[in-house]
Amino acid sequence: MNRVVGTGMAVQHRGRLPLGCDALPLVGGTLMQARRIAILVSCVVMLLSAGSVAAQGKPKLPLGLDADSAFVPADNPMTPERIALGKKFFWDTRWSSSGTVACVSCHRPEHGWSDPRQFSITFAGKPTPRHSPTIENRLFSDRQLWTGLRPSLEEQALRDSNRTDEMVVKHLGSVPAYQAEFRRVFGTELHPDGVAKAIASYVRTIVSGNSPYDRFRAGEKSALSPAAQRGQVLFAGRARCVACHAGFNFTDEGYRNIGVGMDKADPDLGRYTVTKDEADKGAFKTPTLRDVARRGPYMHDGSEKTLADVVAFYDRGGVKNPWLSQDIKPLGLNREEQTDLVAFLHALTGEIDPEVGQPPVLPQ
């Protein structure tokens, strides 16, 4: 399981797929260079449109999202059963040592699957070192976290939950209904790898699309206000946002230094902490901008409260530092242009299948 990505390992572990789905072999080399992992394109489309799946709370892939860009490891197909089980784990606070925190505590459905607090509070009652990012549209990424430290959603769920393996087995494994459900889904005793796989499958269903922007592109000319349309032109033009927030998910999945926090005495060096490459100092992942208006505060340190603050930050040219991206320069936008850009960002607020964010019934 911990070699789900790009080692070739997963090819031997193809899971059972629904009728009509082919498990494509993994493409790509080592863990570090794995950019493309198994892309079960036809399968994702099938799953996302299958009626039985919808009945289980599985969303359709909404307008504007590109199924070809989905990352689903070959050894963890998105079955309705895995998704349903993962959803329960995601919401179950009995997992944490304090019995009070679950994934949903920091990734809140009603707040764009992010956290309104600048920093979240961990199982141990301490603030998280970074702001909790949105976990929407993670289906379209292999690497996870602000620094890309985790090569897959499975690895993220397995390693970042502030727990030992023992605790999963002890806390959730002691619930008989979970034991039974886990056995039905994975055919074995409850174990951490399966828990992580189920959670990853659920997280992949949190997809947002069909925003005014998408509808405008599809021909509904009234979907964007004139201000948002002007903002769109700036976004792709003079404001240079597309240099990084590119493509249908508004991210190139790259890591850039735009200067956030770089004026601190001891700044978070971001991607550098993973690669030890000088050029990565102060670089963080370019986040998706879908649903961005739902989820302030912004940036890896939650330092910008509003979208107007973010746009003003870019207009100033970020924060000067030796590793600042070449694509960050003072923009010279006037007040109306800044307002237009914010209007465009609001037009990226889309729809997520409401079923996905409904609390599940947890076993007692």
Which residues contribute to the site for ligand HEC (CB under 6 A)? Answer: 90, 101, 103, 105-107, 120, 122, 128, 130, 132-135, 138, 144-147, 153, 156-157, 161, 199, 203, 239-241, 243-245, 256, 258, 260, 284, 286-287, 289, 292, 298-300, 307, 310-311, 314, 325, 327-328, 341
Coil, strand, or helix at residue 270? strand
CA 109, CA 119: separation in Å to the nearest integer? 17
Residue nearer to ligand HEC on the CB measure, 58 or 138: 138
- Please report, as a single letter, which amino acid is at residue 177: A
User: To the nearest whole angstrom, how small is the minimum distance from the Cβ of residue 156 to ligand HEC?
Assistant: 5
Residue nearer to ligand HEC on the CB measure, 56 or 105: 105
Nearest by Cα to 290 from 199, 191, 212: 212
User: To the nearest whole angstrom, how small is the minimum distance from the Cβ of residue 279 to ligand HEC?
Assistant: 13
Residue nearer to ligand HEC on the CB measure, 132 or 205: 132
DSSP state of 132: P
Residue nearer to ligand HEC on the CB measure, 44 or 234: 234
User: To the nearest whole angstrom, how small is the minimum distance from the Cβ of residue 22 to ligand HEC?
Assistant: 27
Residue nearer to ligand HEC on the CB measure, 93 or 210: 93
- Helix residue ranges per DSSP H, the chain: 41-49, 51-55, 80-91, 103-106, 153-159, 165-167, 176-186, 192-203, 212-217, 226-236, 272-275, 307-315, 335-346
Residue nearer to ligand HEC on the CB measure, 22 or 165: 165
Full DSSP string of 43-98: HHHHHHH-HHHHHTTPPP--TT--GGG----TTS---HHHHHHHHHHHH-GGGSTT
Residue nearer to ligand HEC on the CB measure, 46 or 103: 103
Residue nearer to ligand HEC on the CB measure, 156 or 208: 156
User: To the nearest whole angstrom, how small is the minimum distance from the Cβ of residue 309 to ligand HEC?
Assistant: 9
User: To the nearest whole angstrom, how small is the minimum distance from the Cβ of residue 80 to ligand HEC?
Assistant: 18
Nearest by Cα to 47 from 37, 56, 35, 38: 56
Phi, psi (deg, nearest 5) at residue 127 = -70, 145
User: To the nearest whole angstrom, how small is the minimum distance from the Cβ of residue 269 to ligand HEC?
Assistant: 11
DSSP state of 125: S
- Which tokens is 267 given? 């700044």
Residue nearer to ligand HEC on the CB measure, 17 or 102: 102
User: To the nearest whole angstrom, how small is the minimum distance from the Cβ of residue 161 to ligand HEC?
Assistant: 4
Cross-strand partners of 285: 255
User: To the nearest whole angstrom, how small is the minimum distance from the Cβ of residue 19 to ligand HEC?
Assistant: 29
User: To the nearest whole angstrom, how small is the minimum distance from the Cβ of residue 36 to ligand HEC?
Assistant: 18
**Residue located via tokens 């997809």:** 207
How many Cβ atoms are within 10 Å of 173's Cβ, its own excluded? Answer: 18
**Are residues 214 and 92 in contact, defined by beta-carbon separation less than 8 angstroms?**
no
What CA–CA distances, in Å, run from 301 to 41, 130, 271?
A: 35, 5, 14
